Amino acid sequence: MKNSQEISPTKALALIKKGALLLDVREPKEVSKKSFDVSNVLQIPLRDLKKRLREIPVDRKVVIACHVGNRGMIAARFLVNNGYSKVVNMQHGIAGWEKEGLPVRKELKTATGSWFRKLFSRMS
């Protein structure tokens, strides 16, 4: 088994700004709550990686991320073992990314009862 390189969230952002693809291997529910606020993001849950492998460009630098880094490392090893040579795993995932103050998008939460107030405001 070949090893993949790990990089900090700050270095990951620098690579993304230079054109690297960010591959987010978290589950859709996790991504809907908090996501990376950058361009060039592809979201493929780890469980779907094998069947969606062709969506990931072989000739492009790929930064893999998850929540804290464990699934990212599994995905990075999988890609390296399948012929991808430009793969790095982001240490500490989106948790580390956010801790370093890098851009995230969070789920918008509506205030409790706001749907109820909207319903009654339409009736008046």
List the catalytic residues: 66
What span, in angstroms and rounded, lies between the C-alpha atoms of 5 and 69? 12
Q: Are 88 and 12 in contact (CB under 8 A)?
A: yes
Q: How far is the C-alpha of 69 from the C-alpha of 87, rounded, in Å?
A: 14
Give φ, ψ of 82 to 5 degrees: -110, 25
Tokens of 49: 């990686």
Cα dihedral 50, 54, 59, 60 sign: negative
